[in-house]
Amino acid sequence: MPDAPADRLRHSATDRLKARFVGRDEVIDLIALAVVAGEHLFLFGPPGTAKSLLVREFAGAVHCRYFEYLLTRFSEPTELFGPVDLARLREGVVATVTTGMLPEAEFAFLDELFNANSAILNNLLTVLNERVYRRGAETHRLPLLSAFAASNHLPEDDALQALFDRFLLRCKVDALPRTQLPALLAAGWAIERNGKPTTDRSDALTADDLHAMGRLVKDVVLEPILEPYADAVEKVRDLGVTLSDRRAVKVLKLVAASAVMCGRATANVSDLWVLRYVWDRVEQIGPLGSLVAGILDHAGKSDTPHPRAAQPEAVDVEALAAELAEAERELAIGPKLVEIARLRERVQAVADRSSWVTDATGRSHLLTQAGALLKRLG
């Protein structure tokens, strides 16, 4: 059985979840990274893409207390943090019944995050930033390891932007492409037919184990990557990403957590893969991915790199351009409604792969062409 914390985390949680959830390796790795770093992860995408299920299953795999809630504009703080204890109130003491609520959770998932109203917003900012919940004179120190949130839109006003800023990691979660649909259906049907697989829980991690990994993060030697990281931060900012000095320092926790998850006590340049997930707007995802790919490629091979640092297969620019040209010809013919949906999926796949083109001119041309086609496809 694996003894090292990183090996146990893979064995207990990430590898098992990857075997069950088709096409969700990226999200699973980011959940693990967030937990080890003690940071928060925002998942952006449509309903039905297993966002809450992945977090819930991960929390169960590592024996952690879990809280989940769907926010609406009318949600009240008591629905998240617990009601006033009426018995204590009669004694003249304001106290909160937190049993089973967010203040007792080690994993928390907040769906439709940006429905949070002002009554909830201020409390959440303190919870996410300080791991503290205050109500009147009482103060609760929270055992929260990481908070996870989801929405199918990004914040528009400044108040919600402050909440978004608390989520250091951001990941776009799309519906799986057509090529992965058969595997998804087979895996989903196996769960429907047989239920969740039974697992040996004797080696499962606990919150204490994850806190121990978090302490290892603080001891990681970062000096070898500080110069290349500083250069990377400037390039990320040049893309228009709002990476403040405060956030740039906090991202170092992600870099250190990547090293810990690889069983290393020293960070190397391969750990800079985490910069792919610091975007503010969707249109930054592709250029940011290309930038990070260039940094990792320039650095060459590193000792024991994180799997997320692996370079994607070489992108054939001419082949992508040919696929877009073929899609444009099919669109001109006037496809049926069902064919339009499949055509949109193909064009989106080309756009995703185009983001990895290292040549800026070629990448921009492909993305512009794909964007125009997607707009015509509706």
Q: How far apart are CA 313 and CA 330, in angstroms?
A: 27
DSSP 21: S
Mean pLDDT across the chain? 87
Contacts of 103 (CB under 8 A, 6+ apart): 81, 82, 96, 133, 140, 142
3-state SS string for 37-51: HCCCEEEECCCCCCH
- pLDDT-based confidence at residue 1 (cuts at 50, 70, 90): very low
pTM > 0.95 = no
Q: What are the tens digits of pLDDT across the range 65-87?
A: 999 999 999 999 999 999 888 87
State mean pLDDT over 233-257: 96
Using CA atoms, how far residue 93 sits from 6, 84, 96, 136, 377, in Å, is 45, 10, 10, 10, 61
Tokens 């697989």 -> residue: 197
Edge-to-edge order in the sheet of strand 169-172: 66-70, 107-111, 146-151, 41-44, 169-172
> Whose CA is closest to 278, among 75, 113, 39?
39
Q: Are 20 and 197 contacting, i.e. CB atoms less than 8 angstroms apart?
A: yes
Q: What are the tens digits of pLDDT across the range 131-174?
A: 999 887 789 999 999 999 999 999 988 889 999 999 999 999 98
Tokens 């952006």 -> residue: 44
pLDDT for position 338: 61
- pLDDT-based confidence at residue 105 (cuts at 50, 70, 90): very high
User: Does residue 114 surpass a pLDDT of 90?
Assistant: yes
* Cβ neighbour number for residue 194 with a 10 Å cutoff: 9
Helices (H), 239-272: 245-261
